[in-house]
Amino acid sequence: MFEYEGLENEWFEKYKINVPLIDSDHLNLFMEISRFNEHLQSGMSSEELEKSLSFLDKYVSAHFAREEMLMREKGYPLYIEHKTLHLQLKKVVFAVRRVFQTDIDKVDKVKLNDFLYNWLVEHIQKVDIKLAPYVNGPYIGTGLYATERLQSITLIEQVPLDEELVEVTVKVPMSKQKVIERCAYAFMHNTPEAQDLEEIALAATGMTIEEAMELAETVLIN
C-alpha cells in the first residue's frame, strides 16, 4: 500500500502537468485518497466508506467535467478517447457504491484504495500529460474539436467505433421514436455526445447488481 503522509508537496511537484486548474483538482483528489487511506489504517467504518465513496463520486465527476470543458475549449484532438476513459472510472465508482449498498462487506477497502491511487497516477502520467501542449502551447486550438469548428463537425469526422454492432428492438412512445433514433445514431458513430448519453441513462435507470459486480470486480473481496 502506498504511504501518503507528508508527501503532498512532493506528489504535486512530481505529477503536475503545469495546467493550474487540472493540477489543483489532482492534488485535491490525491488528498481525498490520502484521507481514505487514513480512515483505512484506523479501521474504517461503513459510514466512513460510504462518505468517501460519495465524495469521490461527486468530485471525480466535477473534475472530469472541468477537464472535458477545457479540452473542448482548447481544441484537444483526443477528446473522445480521453472522455471515454473518464466514463470508465465513473462507472467503476458507481458500481462500487452499488455493490456496497447491497453488501457492505463485499468491497475490499485496501484494493479500492490502491486502485484509486494507481488510476490517478497512471491517468496523469499517460493521459492528462498529453493535454498540456494544447493548453499552454504550441498546439492551442489546432485539434479536431477546436472551438471554431464545434458547430460544423460531421459524423464522418468522428472516431470510428471499434466494437461489434448489435440489433436492438424496443417499444417506446411514438412521440419518442425520433429521440431513440438520434441516440442510436450517436452511439453507432461514437460522437462526442455518446458518452454523455450513457451517463444520463446510467443516472436515470441505475445499474443492476450483476453489472456492478462485473465492473467493480478488481476491488471486491474474492
C-alpha to C-alpha distance for 34 and 133, rounded to whole angstroms: 29
Phi and psi (nearest 5°) for 137? 100, 160
What pLDDT is recorded for position 150? 38
Query: For residue range 3-51, what is the model confidence (pLDDT) as tens digits?
Result: 545 556 777 788 888 888 888 888 888 888 888 888 777 777 888 888 8
117 vs 190, residue with greater confidence: 117
What pLDDT is recorded for position 175? 94
**Could you tell me the pLDDT band of residue 177, with boundaries at 50, 70 and 90?**
very high
What's the pTM value of the predicted model, to 2 decimals?
A: 0.78
Share of the chain above pLDDT 70, in %: 85
What pLDDT is recorded for position 139? 55
211 vs 151, residue with greater confidence: 211
Query: For residue range 148-169, what is the model confidence (pLDDT) as tens digits?
Result: 433 443 433 444 556 788 888 9
| Domains of the chain by residue range | 8-151+211-219
**Could you tell me the pLDDT band of residue 147, with boundaries at 50, 70 and 90?**
very low
Q: Would the pLDDT of 196 be above 90?
A: no
C-alpha to C-alpha distance for 6 and 23, rounded to whole angstroms: 18
The owner of cell 465513496 is 53
Q: Give domain 8-151+211-219's CATH number out of 3.40.50.300, 1.20.120.50, 1.20.1270.10, 3.40.50.2000.
A: 1.20.120.50
Distance of alpha carbon 11 from the chain centroid: 21
Rg of the chain over all Cα atoms, to the nearest angstrom: 19
Average pLDDT value for the chain: 81
Here the cell at position 77 is 484532438
